[in-house]
Amino acid sequence: KAGVTQTPRYLIKTRGQQVTLSCSPISGHRSVSWYQQTPGQGLQFLFEYFSETQRNKGNFPGRFSGRQFSNSRSEMNVSTLELGDSALYLCASSRTGTGSSNEQFFGPGTRLTVL
Amino acid sequence: DAKTTQPPSMDCAEGRAANLPCNHSTISGNEYVYWYRQIHSQGPQYIIHGLKNNETNEMASLIITEDRKSSTLILPHATLRDTAVYYCIVSDNYGGSQGNLIFGKGTKLSVKP
C-alpha cells in the first residue's frame, strides 16, 4: 500500500505571497490532518478533514485554510505569508480519525521557507 | 497542552532493549496511549497504541500500568536506526480530539554502538 504523499517537498516563497500544499492520503483513509512543525513550537495541529468537512481546527489564524476533495486528497493554503510561517508542514491520514482508529500515518512533509 | 511527561533524553547501547517511560497521570478511562517516533527531518512514524492491555507488534511492545497512569515503550533490540525523538500521546479521539494528536517535546533516544 502506498504511503502518504505530499507535494511539493520544498518550497521557497517571499513575504506576502500565498502557497498551496497538497496531500494524498493512504488509500481507504478518510481523515486527513495537517500539522506545522517548527524548532520553537514543535508539532502543532492545524486542522483535520473528514468526508470533505473540516471537523477540527487548531489555534492558527485564518490565513491558514484547507479543504478536502471527494477522493480524500487534501490541500492546505497559507495566504499573506509571514517569515514565521517557515516550517515543515506535515500531513497525516487515518482511517476515520475517531475512536480506536486514529493511528495516523504521516507524509514526509513540505519544507516551506519564507524569505 | 500535552497530557504526558517524558524524559527529554535517553541513551541506549546497540542491541540492548530501550525502555522509554511516559507519565500520563490525568488520563481518562476512554483515552488511548499512542507512541510515535520522528527520525530527523522525516515525518513522525506510528509505532503502537493501546487502551488498557499491553500490546506488541513487530516494532515494539507497550506496557501500560494497571492504573493507566504511566506506560513504557520497549524496543527489544535497539539499533542505530532507532535513534529518534519518541512521542507519547494520549487521546480519546472524540470531539475536539478527532484527527488531532497533541505532541509534546518527546524523548530523544540516542542508540550508541
Rounded Cα–Cα distance for residues A10 and A90 (Å): 12
A-facing residues of B in 53-92 (CB < 8 A) are: 87, 91
**Residue A29 gets which letter from DSSP?**
-
Cis, peptide link before residue A8, omega less than 30° from 0: yes
Query: What are residue A45's phi and psi, to 5 degrees?
Result: -75, 130
Q: Tell me: the pLDDT tens digits for B88-99?
A: 999 988 888 888
Q: Which residues contact A56 (CB under 8 A, 6 or more apart)?
A: A45, A47, A48, B96, B97, B98, B99, B100
Question: How many other C-beta atoms lie within 10 A of the C-beta of residue A5?
Answer: 15
Residue A56 grid cell: 477540527
**Residue B69 gets which letter from DSSP?**
S
What is the residue-wise DSSP string for A84-95? GG-EEEEEEEES
A107 CB neighbours in chain B (<8 A) are: 43
Rounded Cα–Cα distance for residues A109 and B104 (Å): 19
Tell me what pLDDT residue B2 has.
73
Residue of A4, A48, A108 with shortest CB distance to B100: A48
Closest to B21 in 3D by CA, of B106, B93, B111? B106
CB contact under 8 A, A99 and B94: yes
Residue B50 grid cell: 493501546
Tell me what pLDDT residue B50 has.
94
Q: Tell me: the pLDDT tens digits for A27-45?
A: 999 999 999 999 999 999 9
B-facing residues of A in 48-87 (CB < 8 A) are: 48-50, 55-56, 58
CB contact under 8 A, B99 and A99: no
Residue of B46, B91, B99 with shortest CB distance to A55: B99
Tell me what pLDDT residue B70 has.
96
- Please list the residues that pair with A31 across neighbouring strands: A50, A94
**Residue B81 gets which letter from DSSP?**
G
Residue B59 grid cell: 516494532
Tell me what pLDDT residue B4 has.
95
Q: Tell me: the pLDDT tens digits for B13-60?
A: 999 999 999 999 999 989 999 999 999 889 999 999 999 989 999 999
CB contact under 8 A, B99 and A33: yes
Give the residue ranges of chain A where pLDDT is below 70. none
Rounded Cα–Cα distance for residues A72 and A63 (Å): 22
